[in-house]
Every structure is written in structure tokens, then in C-alpha cells.
Amino acid sequence: MSGPVHIASDGEWESLLSGTSVVVADFYADWCGPCKMIAPHFERLAKEHSSPKKVAFAKVNVDNQANIARTNGVTAMPTFKIFHNGTAIETIRGANPSALTEAVNKAVSLSGSSGKKAEAVFKTPGRTLGGGAAAQGQGRPWNVSGLLNIVMMLVGLYLTSLFSIDAFKAAEQSMFNPNRQPAPQPKPTAAKGPVPAGSARVQQQQQKPAFRTLADFSSIAFQESHDASRGQSLEDIEKVVREAKQRFRDTLPKGYLNEEEYALYERLYGPPLRETAPEDVGIPTHADMGGQVPRPTDEGTLLRQSEEGGFEEVTYRIPPRQGDEQELESEFEQPLESESAVETVQEPSDYVDAVARNPREREALQRLMQDFKTAQQKQLEDEVAAAREEAEAEQEAYEVEEEELFPESEEIAADAEPEMGLGESRRFHPYTLDGRFHASPVEISLPQSALVTPIRDLLDRTHLGHVKTAAEAAFGGQGLPTSPFTPEGRKNGQMGGVGLPPDQRHMTEIEADAFLAGYLPPSYASVVSVLREVRRRLGSDWIRQRLQKDGSAGLSVLDAGAGGAGLVAWDQVLQAEWDLLREQGVVKGSQPPGRKTVITGSDRLRHRLKSFLHNTTFLPRLPDYEHSGEMQGERLDAGDTPQARKSYDLIIASHLFLKEKQDHYRQAVLNNLWTLLNKDGGVLIVIEKAHPRGFEAVAHVRDTLLKQFILPQNGESSAPTEELNPAYHKEREPGHIIAPCTNHGTCPMYKEVGKSKGRKDYCYFNQRFTRPGFYTKMLGNSTNNQGDVEFSYVAIQRGRSKADQLPGWKSTEQAFAGYENSPNPPDMQTLPRMVLPPLKRKGHVTLDVCTPQGKIERWTVPKSYSKLAYHDARKSHWGDLWALGAKTRVTRSVRVGSGVDDGGKRAEGGKKPRKVEITMDGGRLSANEKNARKERRTKGKRDRQTDLIKEILEAEDIEELEIEREMDAEVQEEFELEDEKGRGRR
């Protein structure tokens, strides 16, 4: 027989009900403990009784299939429902194996014969865990003696109260009163060890009054169950003790066991460790299993599909009919019950109903639940009070700081751009806001309709576990270290390019899905971060001038390496500018014009990208126009008239250079991209992974552009024409670096071309983004949806020189002086950029910046320098431009490594040449090399001990020689004195 069927959709559930005579459904949750306990029993029943189209067993996860659970009125887990011909005929709440087995056996009998009716088989209502059910065919046994005792007690109480003046007092003191206080008896001898939990209960029983109110009914029942246990057998006592051990582990609630039960408990398991707390029975975890609040009669619900692909519940008001208006008015006119009355009525928890196996456990768990609610309420009140006090203190401190730091905040706000928020413009200097690298908020969200939803729909065709396995195989293992996102701790061992580039010619179906899931999200985050910075530095005119032209075809963009993520990011930036122009009435239409092209080598990947990249041209490889490029000198195939070539206003070269191992390959790719770039203001963006090798690839592109493609800035002379190779170099033209560099000289972190061994400092940036659900599962972390992608980049504009032609040292001096009170605004591309997060200390902030002079310096901004500059420095981020100056500056040493290991060539070019000295000692020739390099081999422990002994012996020899010299000198002095004395006597 087959096992239970796991319901995955509403359609599958309806199909099962309509196609099967009897359906036994288990409504469960993954976090439910009782659900896990009874699950094996349910599976055994399913394997034993399942029959196609007759009996089926179904498991419904209430968290995933909330609509099915809500339709069937499921409020507690586990809940078992039995359906006959699509109609629910039995409900069992809680993990009760016996009740479930009995109900399943009855339900199976319904499937065998069509003549039976469900009402005849299921005569009793639904059962709840802990409730007993009388066996069929047996009535309640008659207790004759008990009945006679009750009749005698009633007659005696009636006669006693009838012939007395104070009927209440006479009935209380009557011998027929079963709750009369007994005569005082000597206290029992205390047992060894801790005081039994039942001793307190005995005292309470002796002191209880004759008649109780309805409010004390639950405690009376709990005490009477204890009293009844005194006459129980040894087997019953042992059962109670074992159930208490199973439920409460090594703890016991106060007053749970009587003296006999506690004695057996102590003999079997030893004394309990402590009194039971709510955490010991899982109440904090399952405290939210209460029943649902009834929905108002004038409110309805609808299910609407969300952007993430799930369903959300939407409420709406049902307009009252004419006949119902008077009824509603009459209901509102009725007085409401007092709040105190409502508070005293407390519904029992569904978790207690599902777990409790007898009235005693129910009462104990109910008390623990009440204690938990009381403690939770007190904790909430304390947190609210503490938060209120903290907010008041922060508000007072903020008001004082505002008065000290921003006395002229209204003037600064008046000069700020209208795009900035009022709060930020009042707290920050306008130049600080203009120099920010990250937008507000810092974390970006991936577009749902343009990127996340299409990828999720494509991945739904394949099991996500298979996609994760393929992504780990393609991108370097767990955490996808060779994807655009590099996890922390995996940078040193994975310094190559991306593992699965989009221009790869052959991809399997699962590899194409792995590319969508593991490559596009971090690639989009890095590209959109760079595009925002480029737009901020070039201004809106860079885009608007092309869009405002009459009959303009818009801007053309080439995505070479981002696999379509660059086009999605560009659409977000372009659409924002287009909407602003449309609001101003300058342009018409909902979509901006333009041409989009993406490099995609695999047909399988291209078919997937076509589903959400509309109006896009797909190329299998990067176009090559080197045969007709404009070179210095004559070319055999060029001719007099150059051929027309395709050009792009924006080229996003993502992860193209690091995968090329040879420098001349990188040179060829760069020549090709530069040829495709529009000569009149085209922008080239180069992005690589954030590790030393990725930075060196970007720095090599920057160095090549400055030396071979772009005219020098600040009036510097270019290289002579005769030194250039016509077949390799192009004619230099205007252009400048947009970001991140503010200098056009040698990069301070890339002074020597090539790889550097042991590089510690390199230029890179980061962008925080919200991870989609499928990408989080690719990384193997299903709880954290916040990610940070790190990258190195450079953006260059062709055909337009830098506006400010000041020398680098001059721009650095002006930036160090600060523009806080300057009447002239600074050129943001001449300000120093932070290359590390700011170091915040008490009273000052230290900024590590790359200056326009081409140096890495450490600027210090103390509070005494400027309160506004100090405030903005503390709130600055890694990658921002700094315009408010500093008080001190020092040069910061850069750890660029030792360079490539060249096999000793550097030592050969040293000042001292290597010489070999040949000597003859005892008829043997020996050769000793002078100025030779010392071996860098580390010494072992024994060698170090030998060297230490040699040093000690040498020191002792030197000390003995000094002592001998001193003694010889003293002896010599004595001889000279004696000689002088002898001469004097003569």
C-alpha cells in the first residue's frame, strides 16, 4: 500500500476529495511537536488502509496551504479530519493515537459498502486529546452504594436545615456534610529529602470552606482528582508518575503529586531539580496557537497574488442591505459588557488541549500558560517603559546637539537641492550629500517585475536543489565564490574570474538555470551601484540631451559580461530620467527610446533571457572591428574611406578582463571595446571581482587607457609619435576618468604593472542588496536575506576632457582647506574619495582618502576643527567624496606586496655585484661567493638552539678575553709601581 499524499496546491486537494470516497487528512505544521510524535502512527495507518479511489490519507501543511486550512476551520495542530464523498464527517484534535485508529477503522468500513451512512457509523462528535470515549455497546456501570449515600446525604442535610434557626451554619456543621472540617490530627512526620509536593495540597484541603463559588470550580476539581488518587491502585500511581516524568522531565509543578505519588517518583527518578517553568513544556514556542478571532459579519476577504509569487489576504467591507441597517443600529445601542467581565473569561489554549492527557495535566499546563502570559505582559511593559525613557533621553541629547552643530541649519536647507529630503538637508552639508557613493537607503532592492519574478518563474520548472548543486559546481563550491559575489573568507583561495561567464558557448539546461539564480542578482547590484555613481558625477544632462533630441533614437547600451543584469539596471536609471522629462512635458510616451544589446553565447541562456529582456539584440560574442580601426599609419585593408561601424553610448564590461591570463589578450579586448564606444561622450564601465587579482585587472585597464588612449590632463605633454607602434597603439584623443579615481596619474596602489605577490591594499567598493529567496537558497542560508557584493571598477568617458584642469596638488590643497564656507561650489570629480570605512574615535574621525594628487593619505577631522564637518565625517561611508576638509593629514603607507617573484633578477641588478673568491687551503680549492643572497629558508628548532649556544659561547669567550686583558693591565701596573719605588730608594 502507498503512504500519505502531501498536498501541494488547492487543485490537488479538490481533485483528491472529488476522486476518493474516504479521505483522512492530517493538518500539521513543521514546528509542532505533537504533530511529529503522531506522524509515524499516521503513516502506518496510511500504508495499511490506503486504497486507490476508496481510501486516501493526505498531509496538509497549514503554513504552506493556509487557504485549505482556513476553509476547513483548522485552528490547532495536529487536527485530523475525515471526509466522506467530499463532506467532513469527523474531526479529531490533538495527538490521540487510539481515537485516530478507531475513527480510521470506522471510515474504512464506509468505503467498503455504499449503503452505510456516515451518521450511523460516527455517532459521537469530534474528539479532543485527553477526552475519553465510552466503548460501544456498554453503558455507564451503576454504583448502588454510591447512589444510596447521595440520597442519605441529601435527606440528612434537608432535615438538619429544616429544624434549625441558622440553616446555613447547621448544614455546614452537620455530619452529612462531606466537606466538613475534620477534627485536628497530629501532623505526619516529614520524609527525608525535599518536602513532598503533595503536603501543601493536604493542608489546603483541610482548610477549604464548605461551599465554593463558581470561580473556584477548577481548583476544586484539581484537588478532588488528587483526593481520588489516594484510593487508586499501585499500577495507577505508577502510571501517573511515569506520565509526569514524560511530560515535565526533571522538573515538577508545585502540588502536582500527592505524598504516595511523590514517594514513588523520588524512589524511581530521585527528587526533581526544580519547579516546572513554562519553557520546560514548550509553552513559549506554542503560545500563539490560540483560536482565531471571529471575523465581523460586514467584512469579507479576497486572496491576491503578491509580487513574490505567493498569496496575501485582502479585507474589504460588505455594504449593509436596507433590511440590515436597523439591526445594526439596534446592536450598537445595546450596552457592552464591562471590561473586567471580559477579562475574567479566558479561553483555554489550543496547545494545552492538544498536549494534555488528563485533567491533572491540563490544570498544571493551564497554570503554566497563565504564568507565561503574566511574565510576557510584564516584560512588554518593562520594554515599553525602557524604550520610552531612552527615546526621551535621545530626544533631549539630539535637541542639544542640533543647537550646537546646526545653528544655521535653515540657511543650509535653503541652499540645498530640492531633491534632498528636508531632514538630511538640515543635518548634513549639501556637498556631503552630493559626494555620497550610496543612495538613500543604502540597501537596494532588486526589481520584482523586471528581474526577480521572471527568474523565479523560470526556476519553478526545475527542483531548486538541483539548481543549487549545479550552481555550486559552476561557481566554485559552497557559497559560490567564483560568482560576482565572493563570500567572506574565500577571497584568498579564489582569485580567478567568474566560473560561468555569459559568453560561454555551451551550457546545459541546468547550467543556464544556475546562471540565472547565482549570477544575475549580485551582478545587478554591482552594476546599478556604478551606474548611479556615473550619473551623479556626469549629471542628468548626459542622458537628457540624447532623449530630448527630435527624432532621436535614444541611447544605445551594450551589456558585455553582465548577462542581461546590466540592461535591467540601465532600464531603471533611464526610466527615472524619462519620467521626469515626461512630467515636464518635454517628451511623450511611456517608454524611452534606445537600443539594447547583450552578449550571450549559449542558445539555452538566450532563450531564457528573451522571456524578460524585451526589444533586445543578442550577440554570441563581442563584435570585432579591429580590421578597419583607426590606427596611426597606413593599413592594407583600411582604404581611403573608413567603414561605418556600430557604436554604443554605454558599454558595461563586467568580468571580461580577469579571465584573460595574458596581457596582450586584455589589450585586444580593450582595443575592441574602445572601438565600439561612441566618440562623442561614450562611457565605458569596467567591473571585476573584489580581490587583488580583480583590482589589478581593472588597474591595468586604467593604466593602459591613460598611457595609450586618452590625452593627458592638465597640459602635460604626450609621448612622441615615433615611439608608438602603428599596429598596436591608437591615436590619443580627449577623455577622462569619471569614477572612482579623482586623479589622472599613476594609481597609488598600482605603481608597478602586473601581479604583485602579497598585496594587502587594493581599491574596491561594496553594495548592500536584498537577496531574493531563490538566491538565498543558492548560498545555503535560508534565514539571512541581506547581502553585500564587493567589486572593483573604473568608468571612463570618451571624447570629452575633464572640466577642471587644475593640477592634482592644487586640487588636493583646496580640498584639504575645505569647501564648508566657500562661495564657489567644488568640482566633485576633484575631491578625495574614501577608500576605507572611516575610523570613529572619541572627539575625532580619521578618513583614509585617495587624493587628486595620486596619494593615499590619512585625514583627521576633530570636533574642534568644525562641528558640522565632524558630524558629517562620522556619518560618512566607504566610497564617499569628502569636501569639508580636515585639520591634519599624513601620508599612509600602502601595502602593495613584493611584486612578482622573478627568480632572483632583482638581486642581480643590485648595487653590489656578485663575486666568487677562489682560495687554496691545504692543497684544496674552495670557492666562496661574495654578496650572495641569503637563504630565506626558515630554521628549525634544533638549528635555533645551536645558534643560541654558539652565541652564548662566543659571548663567554669575549668576556674571558676582556677579563684577561684587565688582569694583564693590573699586573703591568704593579710592576711599574715596584720599579718606581726601587728607583726612589736608590
Catalytic residues: 32, 35
d(CA 219, CA 213): 11
Q: Considering only CA atoms, which of 605, 725, 621 is closest in space to residue 673? A: 621
3-state DSSP assignment of residue 652? strand
Number of Cβ within a 10 Å radius of residue 196: 23
Give helix 509-518 / helix 520-538 axis angle, nearest 10°: 40
In 808-932, at which residue ranges do the beta strands (DSSP E only) sit? 833-834, 839-841, 844-850, 856-862, 888-891, 915-921, 924-930
Please name every residue paired with 858 in a beta bridge, in sequence order, or none if there are none. Answer: 848, 890
Fill in the DSSP letter of residue 449.
I
Q: Is 42 exposed, middle or buried (0-12, 13-18, 19+ CB in 10 A)?
A: buried
Q: Considering only CA atoms, which of 686, 470, 659 is closest in space to residue 560? A: 686
d(CA 130, CA 152): 34
Q: Is 29 exposed, middle or buried (0-12, 13-18, 19+ CB in 10 A)?
A: buried
**48 Cα distance to chain centroid:** 45
Torsion sign, CA atoms 162, 164, 170, 174: negative
CA triple 332-338-343, angle to 5 deg: 120
Which CA distances in Å does 404 have to 54, 340, 398, 692, 782? 81, 51, 10, 44, 46
- State the cell numbers at 608: 531564457
175: Cβ–Cβ under 8 A, 6 or more apart, which residues? 156
Give helix 234-248 / helix 259-269 axis angle, nearest 10°: 60
DSSP per residue over 158-174, as a string?
HHHHHT-SSHHHHHHHS
Number of Cβ within a 10 Å radius of residue 149: 13
- Identity (one letter) of the amino acid at 146? G
Q: Considering only CA atoms, which of 74, 106, 82 is closest in space to residue 23? A: 82
**671 Cα distance to chain centroid:** 41
d(CA 224, CA 228): 6
3-class SS shares of the chain: helix, strand, coil, % to 5: 45, 15, 40
3-state DSSP assignment of residue 616? strand
716-745 exposure pattern, b = at least 16 Cβ within 10 A, e = fewer: eeeeeeeebeeeebbebeebbbbbbbbbbb
d(CA 34, CA 23): 21
Fill in the DSSP letter of residue 677.
B
Contact call for residues 21 and 84 (beta carbons, < 8 A): yes
Fill in the DSSP letter of residue 694.
H
Region of residue 113 (left: phi > 0; alpha: psi -120 to 50; beta: else): beta
- State the cell numbers at 454: 521572471
Q: Considering only CA atoms, which of 833, 664, 670, 680 is closest in space to residue 764? A: 833
d(CA 504, CA 903): 36
